[in-house]
Each structure stands twice: as structure tokens, then as C-alpha cells.
Amino acid sequence: MDQGHQIAERMYEAFNRRDTAAAKEIFADSFYSHPLKTSGWECVQRAWQRMWDQHPALKVTLKDLVADDQRVATRTEMGGFVDGSTATMLEMFTFDGDRITELWGLSAKPQASS
């Protein structure tokens, strides 16, 4: 498994474990989130915590992953929203060594589960 795959898996596993401390090891100090328009690994901690506070059962399932030596693109499904809905996320990030340096993302509007 290449570096990009490992980093993506570490990120989603940390999210699912509610491990905000792992953000410091996964995201670079200079990390920039385009969707949040914020920088630093601390912004990830705050964003994750806000999501869990609103949706305590929230989990991410990795569906697809494509990587090269500098970028990773993923398609994930988020489940566990308080209203029973799910959402599809498309994310792309760059990395340097074993840290994510930049992230872009889009999320489909959650649909109520049937």
C-alpha cells in the first residue's frame, strides 16, 4: 500500500475513533482546508468535534480511493446523522511525507434513509 493510501486510511480511522489528538500527526502544521478556509491541524480538531457534537453516531466509510505520489482522491459515505440520513463526500488532498498539507472537498446533500 502506498503512502497516500496509508494517510487516507489513518485520517478516516482517526475520525471514526473520535481521536482528535491524531490530527496533529496526520495534518501538517501548515495544513490548509479549502472548504473551511482555515489553516493548521487544529482546525481539523475543531471541525471534527463540531460534527460529533451535532451527530454523535457519525461514521465515515471509505468507498473509493485513487492516489499518486502527491495527491489522494476519495469518495466516502457518512452515516449516523441524527435524522437517519447519509451523505456522500468527495475529497482530494495533497500530502508531503506522511502529512496532509491541503484538502478540498464536496458533500452531497444528505438524503433521509428509507
Q: Can you tell me which residue has the cell 497516500?
A: 4
pTM of the model: 0.90
Instruction: Write the single-letter amino acid at 100.
Output: I
Query: By three-state DSSP, how is residue 7 classified?
Result: helix
How many CB atoms neighbour CB 56 within 10 A?
10
Q: What is the residue-level pLDDT of the chain in tens, covering all 114 positions? A: 688 899 999 999 999 999 999 999 999 999 999 999 999 999 999 999 999 999 999 999 999 999 998 999 999 999 999 999 999 999 999 999 999 999 999 988 555 554
Query: How far is Cα 28 from Cα 16, in angstroms, rounded to an integer?
Result: 20
3-state SS, 46-59, equals HHHHHHHHHCCCCE
